[in-house]
């Protein structure tokens, strides 16, 4: 198998989840695509350093770092241009009106609720509950202790539960 085939096979397996993870973190399609491409290229360039080990947590670590770099840049630009308002208020961008219309009410509520979480809570939530990383792998990806990850996930779920729109929809779904 050539190197091109090897990369393509890896991308076919992992790209979709990685892209959607980046999209959930960055809340912007263009940024997510750039971040994922950058992360895959970096990971591909240094793939020999993780040979034999599980490359998935490592890929997500690279991806989180890339996303954080973009968020940091975004924070700098936003604080410079508008006096530093929080990211919580930042709307999801890059969606066309047709797609927004197609999105279910529940999905919109989830998007708003997750988007309203601060970065340090949103990233562990996405990695744990969407990407399917274990708490230890999330800890490795964000360079924090597993205990920190556990407490952040707990705090994120508490905040999501307190979100009135999400809570109402969840109650409807249960009924």
Partner 1 sequence: MIDEFRLTELLTELADAEPIPDGAIERVVAAAFEPPPPRRPRRQRWLVVVMPVALLLIIAAAVVVNLGGSSSPSRFSGVGGALGRAGGATGAGASAGPGNSGAAGVPVPAAAASVDATSGTPVPVAIAPVQTRVIKTGSVELEVPRGRFGQTVTSLTSLATGLGGYISESKTFETASVPNGTITLRVPASSFEALLGQVRAKGKVKSATSGGQDVTGQYTDLQARLTALSAERDQLLTILRSARSVPDILSVQDRVTGVQSQIEQLQGQLKVLDDQSSFGTLAVSVAEPGAPPPVTPVPTHRRGMKKAWHEAVDGFVGGAEAVLAHSGAVLLVLVFVAAIAVAIRFLWSWSRHRIV
Q: Which residues bind partner 1 (CB under 8 A)?
A: 3-4, 7-8, 11-12, 15-16, 19-21, 23-24, 29, 33, 36-37, 40-41, 44, 64, 68, 71-72, 75, 102-104, 106-107, 110-111, 114, 119-120, 123-126, 129-130, 142-144, 157-158, 160-161, 166, 170
Q: Closest approach of Cβ 52 to partner 1, in Å?
A: 21
CB 69 within 8 A of CB 132: no
Q: Closest approach of Cβ 20 to partner 1, in Å?
A: 4
* 3-state SS string for 88-147: HHCCCECCCHHHHHHCCHHHHHHHHHHHCCCHHHHHHHHHHHHCCCCHHHHHHHCCCCHH
Q: By C-alpha distance, which of 89, 148, 84 is closest to 121?
A: 148
Q: Closest approach of Cβ 97 to partner 1, in Å?
A: 15
CB 133 within 8 A of CB 60: yes
Most distant pair of Cα atoms in the chain: their distance: 54
- Residue number, 90 or 170, with CB nearest to partner 1: 170
- Residue number, 120 or 136, with CB nearest to partner 1: 120
- Residue number, 77 or 161, with CB nearest to partner 1: 161
Backbone angles phi, psi at 95, to 5 degrees: -90, 135
Q: Closest approach of Cβ 54 to partner 1, in Å?
A: 21
Q: By C-alpha distance, which of 42, 100, 102 is closest to 69?
A: 42
Q: Closest approach of Cβ 82 to partner 1, in Å?
A: 18
């Amino acid at each position: 198998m050539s190197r091109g085939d090897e990369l393509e096979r890896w991308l076919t397996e992992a790209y979709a989840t990685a892209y959607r993870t980046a999209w959930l973190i960055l809340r912007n399609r263009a940024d997510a695509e750039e971040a994922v491409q950058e992360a895959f290229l970096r990971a591909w360039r240094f793939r020999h350093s993780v040979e034999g080990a599980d490359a998935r947590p490592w890929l997500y670590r690279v991806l989180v770092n890339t996303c954080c770099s973009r968020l940091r840049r975004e924070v700098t630009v936003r604080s410079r241009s508008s006096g530093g308002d929080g990211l919580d208020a930042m709307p999801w961008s890059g969606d066309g009106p047709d797609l927004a219309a197609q999105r279910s009410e529940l999905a919109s509520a989830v998007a708003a609720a997750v988007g309203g979480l601060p970065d340090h809570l949103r990233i562990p939530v996405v990695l744990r509950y969407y990407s399917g990383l274990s708490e230890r792998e999330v800890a490795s990806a964000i360079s924090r202790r597993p205990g920190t990850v556990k407490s952040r996930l707990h705090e994120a779920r508490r905040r999501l539960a307190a979100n009135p729109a999400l809570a109402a929809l969840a109650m409807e779904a249960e009924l």
